Amino acid sequence: MSSFDRFYINGDWVPAGSAHERLPVLNPTTEEAIAEVALASKDDIDRAVDAAQRALPSWSSTEPKKRAQYLHAIADAIEQNVDGIAAVLTEDVGVPTKFAQDVQVGWTIQYFRDAANALSDIEFESAYGDSAIVRREPVGVVAAITPWNFPLMQSAAKVAPALAAGCTVVLKPSEVAPLSLFSLAEIASEVGLPAGVLNIATGYGPEIGEHLVCHPGVNAVSFTGSTRAGTRIAALAAADVKRVTLELGGKSAGVVLPGADIEQAARATLLDCYLNSGQKCVAQTRLLVPRSQLEAAESTTKAVAQKLTVGDPADPSVDVGPVVSAAQLARVRDHIIRAEESGAQLIVGGADSPANLGRGYFVRPTVFSSVTTDMPLAQEEVFGPVLAILPYDTVDEAIEIANDSEYGLGGGVWAKTRDEGIAIARKIRTGQVAINGAIPTPDLPFGGFKKSGYGREGGAYAVNEFLEIKTIY
């Protein structure tokens, strides 16, 4: 079992003190400890913020072209070790290896490249007529707090644009799945990123995360996680009027319009819902279908779900791995049980463990039908491989159902034509909508409406989140 008893602070590996609490990191497939990590104290966070503050003047004045070179160098180094980092994610998070390689690591690489490339499109200083100059300057020290479901990718989505903007960063990854971030720290050191520009320390959110958010040396906070935790962070940061970017929960709807290919739409929405074992905030977990096509949607999703292989994510034949922890397993099973109790019709799956798996945090791919908007399954984020099918009678009703959520992160529209799909997408109150299964790219703006948060990640949009505007006249 590996032991990670150091934090990456000021360009060096700083040992944790003997009094630091150690936390085992469990492999969700085997339920066995694969590593032990030290949990930072408030003093460690203070040291990390101090290092970031001291590095800020030099890094912020570094030419954008030079900052871009560092970001490309980090991307190059990750690209040279895709398989190794993906293997860590498979053990740490339970994500199938192919998905870890293509998305969790692939998008990490792209976030660094896109942030670097965005610098050539951002005008950091420009004349405003003959009487003024408008400048874009880094906001300062950024606290980046990231989740366990996409630990490396979500960290890259914050770290890369913040560094591109000229900010320095203190990153606190989730203590549940932190191992891939040690790889990022090693790469930052290898490429010669100046000391203090990126600092990484693991620790509990309620204690260390809040201390970091409230630290007077932090100028901005970027957080991805639950809406409950996000509202707490926003309230704490408001006391010092800090810039905050939040990417929170979701309950996205895939709307199938009359005349669309119901089998293709149902299959694609189900598979989107099950990606990363359903642990994806933007997953389309509600499938909205014309009532006349409800039976077709049920039969298609049942057939597809029954063919999926659940098991060891390191096995290339496996489609769905485990959820990340025992706590998450209990949470998902509770949602399934409550859905049955509320009157939803179980089409496939259920709360029982898969018959062929004696250990691991596995959930049977599950589909419920005849779900109504007043049921908890239609409103609450499950974060597991559970799809809800909701029938509708008119397109206006479908739009109303899609928008009947406190969240507004993602969604999809399936239509006979692109123009018809776009017309309906414009009426759905979410940060992004896919037409006929279109796949987004990391450079597009990503973020939410309503309780899904505010601010945007991706490409130049993300870099601008970390820039202040100054007028000289």
List the catalytic residues. Answer: 247, 281
In contact, 339 and 322? CB cutoff 8 Å: no
Instruction: Show the tokens assigned to 381.
Output: 């984020």
In contact, 131 and 104? CB cutoff 8 Å: no
Q: How far apart are CA 232 and CA 169, in angstroms?
A: 21
Spell out the residues 6+ positions from residue 161 whose beta carbon is closer than 8 angstroms to its own.
111, 115, 118, 457, 462, 463, 465, 466
In contact, 173 and 146? CB cutoff 8 Å: yes
Considering only CA atoms, which of 364, 363, 370 is closest in space to residue 287?
370
In a 3-state reduction of DSSP, which class is residue 16?
coil
Q: Where are the beta strands (DSSP E) in 192-307?
A: 198-200, 220-224, 243-247, 252-256, 284-290
Query: Computed over its alpha carbons, how large is the radius of gyration of the chain?
Result: 22
- The upper half-sphere exposure of residue 150, i.e. CA atoms within 13 Å in the direction of its Cβ, equals 27
- Residue indicated by tokens 């597991």: 384
* Cβ neighbours around 372 below 10 Å, total: 14
Cα dihedral 380→156→434→382 (10° resolution): -20
Spell out the residues 6+ positions from residue 80 whose beta carbon is closer than 8 angstroms to its own.
none
Q: Where are the beta strands (DSSP E) in 201-306?
A: 220-224, 243-247, 252-256, 284-290
CA 132 to chain centre: 40
β-pair partners for 80: none
In a 3-state reduction of DSSP, which class is residue 375?
coil
